[in-house]
Every structure is written in structure tokens, then in C-alpha cells.
């Protein structure tokens, strides 16, 4: 069983319909650790050593957040800037994360059609997530396809429960190594493997 660390960033979790439900559903799952950055660091003073130790102790890293302004909430960027240091995560001597798997779990206000070449946003989710993919590459990590919940503004409570179930299935499948490398890299979104 692999150990999964969810690096979670949501500045208004009390208003969240989706992420609050997702994170509540996995709090007691074996092999899964939830690291809520806004709860842990309300002053933004991130404990770099502790965060690096958490990364070392886990096999799969999940960057989970709402997709704000085509990126992540501010504290996750701060976490990247401080925790993924030269000599730890990258550089000649920075091999601490080498070989670990990493993925993005995000929610978007728009639907899938909005995130396409012909859609209102002109780019796909995977194109918007290139900085995350490149960060993983620099750290010698294997970047997996993202898990995306589209249409967060219009999703019904019943659909949230379906997404919660699929999210748990996705994490369980990764934790238990049920999907091979070729299968993981054959899909645009990990959602496709949870149907």
C-alpha cells in the first residue's frame, strides 16, 4: 500500500460545497494524510522542515485546490516557493522527491467545454496545469493526469456525492497500486478511470 499526502489549499473551506465534502470523506482512510495548509498556517508561516518531512514520508503527493484564476490559491504557491527548495527537491543534490507520483485534484466553476481550444477559456485544463507538471518534472517526480470536477457552481448535491465516491475510488486505486503506468498515462483525466 502506498502512502498518499494531500496538500490541500482552500481559503474559504466553510463556503466550499465540493472540497469540504471530498476532504471529509478521506480523513480516516488508511494510508491517506490530509495536510490542510490554510488551517495549519493561517499566518502563512510555513514550517519548511515539517513539510519536507511529510513529502519524504509519502509515495504519492496530491495538490488539491479550487482552480482560482487559472491557478492555485496563494498559500499553495507560497508552499511551492518555500518547501521545494534547491538541494532538497531539485538541483544536483536535490533528489528527495525523485520517483514519487504527484497529481492535481481541482474543481472549476466552468464545465469541460469551457476548457477547450474552442471554449471561452481557449485552453484545456492540462494546458493550464503545465506549471504544476513542469514543477514535478524539475523535482524528478512522475506527474499523473489530473482529477477534475467541472461545473462547481451548478453541481447538484447528488452529483457531489457521486464525485465524492469517485474521488475516494481514485485515491484508493492509486494507494493500492491498481492502475499500471500505461493505463495512468493513457487518459486525459483520472476521472476516466473511476467510471
Which residues are the active-site residues? Answer: 109, 115, 122
User: In whole angstroms, how far apart are CA 67 and each of 45, 52, 144, 165?
Assistant: 23, 24, 17, 21
Residue 97 in contact with residue 55, Cβ under 8 Å?
yes
Helix axes 157-175, 19-26, angle to 10 degrees: 40
Of the candidates 152, 162, 117, the residue with the CA atom closest to the CA atom of residue 12: 152
Q: How far is CA 100 from the centre of its chain?
A: 14
Amino acid at each position: 500500500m502506498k502512502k498518499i499526502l494531500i496538500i490541500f489549499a482552500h481559503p474559504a473551506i466553510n463556503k466550499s460545497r465540493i472540497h469540504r465534502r471530498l476532504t471529509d470523506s478521506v480523513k480516516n482512510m488508511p494510508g491517506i494524510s490530509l495536510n490542510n495548509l490554510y488551517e495549519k498556517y493561517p499566518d502563512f508561516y510555513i514550517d519548511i522542515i515539517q513539510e519536507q518531512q511529510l513529502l519524504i514520508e509519502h509515495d504519492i503527493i496530491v495538490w488539491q485546490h479550487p482552480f482560482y484564476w487559472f491557478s492555485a490559491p496563494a498559500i499553495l504557491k507560497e508552499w511551492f516557493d518555500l518547501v521545494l527548495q534547491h538541494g532538497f527537491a531539485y538541483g544536483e543534490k536535490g533528489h528527495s522527491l525523485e520517483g514519487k507520483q504527484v497529481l492535481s485534484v481541482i474543481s472549476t466553476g466552468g464545465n469541460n467545454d469551457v476548457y477547450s481550444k474552442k471554449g471561452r477559456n481557449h485552453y484545456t485544463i492540462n494546458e493550464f496545469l503545465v506549471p504544476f507538471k513542469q514543477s514535478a518534472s524539475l523535482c524528478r517526480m512522475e506527474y499523473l493526469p489530473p482529477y477534475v470536477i467541472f461545473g462547481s457552481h451548478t453541481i447538484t448535491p447528488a452529483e457531489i456525492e457521486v464525485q465524492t465516491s469517485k474521488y475516494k475510488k481514485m485515491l484508493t486505486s492509486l494507494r493500492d497500486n491498481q492502475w499500471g503506468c500505461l493505463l495512468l498515462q493513457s487518459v486525459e483525466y483520472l476521472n476516466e478511470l473511476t467510471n
